[in-house]
Structure 1
Amino acid sequence: MTKKYTNYNVNGDRYYINRFDYTPIIMILGYIYFTYTLHLIINNNNSVFGFVFMCIVGATILLGYLLPKFKSSVWSPSTTLITKWKYRRKVDFLIILCSLVTIGYCLNFITSYYKGISDILFYAINPGKAYEYIKMIKKYPELNNVNGGFGSVISILLTLSAGTKYIFITLSLLYWKKIKTITKLISVLAIGIYILYSLLVGSMIAIASLFLACFPIFIFHFRDNNSIFLNKWKVITSTLLISSLVFFFINNRTTGEGIETILFYITHGYVGLEYALKLPFEFTYGFTTFKGITSYFVDYLGVTNYINNSYPFRNETVNGWPALSVWSTIFPWLASDFSFALIPFILFFISYKFSMLWNKTRGTKNPYGFLLLGQIFIFWFMIPANNQLFHTFENSMAFILILIIYKISKYKIVWRDKRS
């Protein structure tokens, strides 16, 4: 019995897609509706309006993903014939550069908030206490008696380069069997220091987002059996280790135990959504959707902050549901600028673009396509939580950097095709 491995018609370094892949949309909708179903079972404040809203959202996400399949012009061989990406030596340089920047970013944070080895070890094994400590210091900066860090200018530059962690981990996974030994060692060192940084931040999303960013590569590896990746058992082992680390964060941050804690984390955002759906719309001029960017306009340029008019913050005032310390799903954050009525159209567009990107990247193996897919996976899987991509300034800069890199890679391919 012969096993089918190829999903593409290949002609030299050129290809065209001949099979549409449903794997991501099955996983995404499965995850969303699994968590929402658990919410319906566990929590009491359910409404018909909330149920109808979630059904419409799911339908539009599905339709958006399927639309490219029914556009024959997209999948015909004459229009999808594109150059296939190959490994080049400069990838090693980029991995090393991004690894070093990530190490610098992590060390800058650690030395800005922690005095010595004893403090670092104590908070590393107690990420819940680390989270409360960092939150207190950021709220009351005068309490910080640590004179560390690399200075304000370097700190700003490192913050702007926060997306480098996604770049080095994505490229390392994609080309692990081809990159040099020194490149592997530096990337592993960067991962180790980043895990330590995540523990000292006390936020599980620091680890979870890196894992989600790698998720497209794992799916592609299992789906298409590509030989350049790590073998499957190493991927499975890595997944189990990261999952264990995330559960460690969860149990350390909450007073509940075991399955009760996990169920709370993945379902309580829908409670905030149910509350928000009952509130009237108030436009916040982009200050809620793009909170990570606009907060800097407020802090440094004195711009009026409209976020207090948003669904999450009015939800806290009216219903007592905290805006920032608990989740409300992504929907109230987007709806504060676009209204709940426009949410399905926004998700339809994002799903359509995601479908195009996923199915083309499977064929081209464009590493920067995988990089952007990782960001969109973070968007999808954080739907029960918040608008993670633009929730902080670092996340916003990471997404913008990766989007720019991907756009440049597309123009580069077009230029190479014209030359050939």
Structure 2
Amino acid sequence: MTLGEALPWLGASSMLLSSGFLAGAETALFSLGEEQVAAAKPRVRKLLSQPRELLVTILLGNLFINLLFFTSLPYLFPSAMQSNALVTGAQALLALLVVGEIVPKTIALRSSERVSSLVAVPLVPILAWVRPLRRVVNAIMDVLLRAFGVGPAAERGVSPQDLATALELSAKDGDLAGREADLLAEIVELGHLRVREIMTPRVDMLAADLDHDVEQRAHLLEATERQRLTWLPVIRGDADTVVGRVDVRDMLLEPDRPLAELIMPVTFVPEVASVLSMLEVLRAERVAEAIVIDEWGGTAGVVTLEDLFEELVGEMRVEGEEIDRVVIPLGEGCYRVSGGASIRDWNDFFEAEVVPNAFETVGGYVAALLGRIPREGDQVILGAGLACKITEVRGRRVLSVELYLEGSQGGDS
């Protein structure tokens, strides 16, 4: 083969290899994990510190080379194109797919760290050379992105939905145990969880009153022992006037000392704050509990770090203590549900999609559907073939309901 005959093949081969180089570089660099990037050479980290510029450069280069490859075929192989252009074009396309895409990307995936170090050497100067052209392309891209409602040059972070999907896939693939995936999913959701969803509501809140006499104080200490409380909010007259907090141990050790002398400052958090915001406040104040206030400044309840832990890992108990389960199976298609169960728990257990409006609990949801003060024996149609009967009421509060399929014996029991 003469030099004149070899040159077309050398030209075509160099373009195919250049296309393969850029395709492999893209795969290798963008498949590196965070730990691999941290351990990579400085030039690799420099490239990945500007991912948009890197991607645009690689795509521009690949597009230019591929266009050059196909447009130069009639000049490199004129006789082949004249005799059978369709077959020659198909052969060129196959060569580009194999040499310019499949093989380099496969190699890059299997040895991403090694390939990244190699391709970074020529890519660093290439990135600088094409900067003027890249600026023009970026400007055009920004205009198009704005047209589709996407901010220019925005580097999208990982959303909670992305993380939840990744956790679900990891659990299905066996990379994470079911309980591990559930716990991590709960942590991801903390940013959307509101304080009012995990707090102890005002109606269940125990408080020490400055006006309590010795006998009332003794009864209060008995109640704190039953509920395993370590602190109490201190009020003056009513729950909306919280003046501080008191350590139960101080009350036990100094029963005759005036309550006003045992008071410590208390932290307040709004009920609409996210749990993550609450956690930041508690950490800054170095406390484990806070008073929750509503939008009018009144007391909505109390919240502690234990409430947060129970939201993540489930109800905690001491040895020998029974857990009040929020959903208890009674038979086929029939359940007893605590009125204090959160709508989130309801949705998770029954795979429902109830959207809480003016209520956070199952009892509030049922009362809202009923449209009046609930009474024991009231039945409510929930839709989707489900109904429930209110089985226990205290005052105006629903304590428990029975959930059953419409027409089953659950509603007649």
Higher strand share: 2
Q: TM-score, normalised by structure 2?
A: 0.20
Higher helix share: 1
Q: TM-score, normalised by structure 1?
A: 0.19
